[in-house]
Amino acid sequence: MASKQLAVLIPAESFATSAGTITLKPFKFKQLNEALELVDKYLQIISNPELTTDQMISALLQKQEEGYAVMDDIAKLITLVSGVSELDDFGYDEVICLLTEILQMNMDFFTAISKRLNPKKAEASGEEAAPAKTGD
> What are the boundaries of each domain within the chain?
13-116
What confidence tens digit (pLDDT) does each residue in 69-114 have? Answer: 888 888 898 888 888 888 888 888 888 888 878 877 777 777 777 7
pLDDT score for 124: 63
Q: Is the distance from CB of 129 to CB of 119 less than 8 angstroms? A: yes
What's the pTM value of the predicted model, to 2 decimals? Answer: 0.64
pLDDT score for 5: 66
- 66-71: list long-range contacts, CB under 8 Å, 24+ apart: 68/41, 70/42
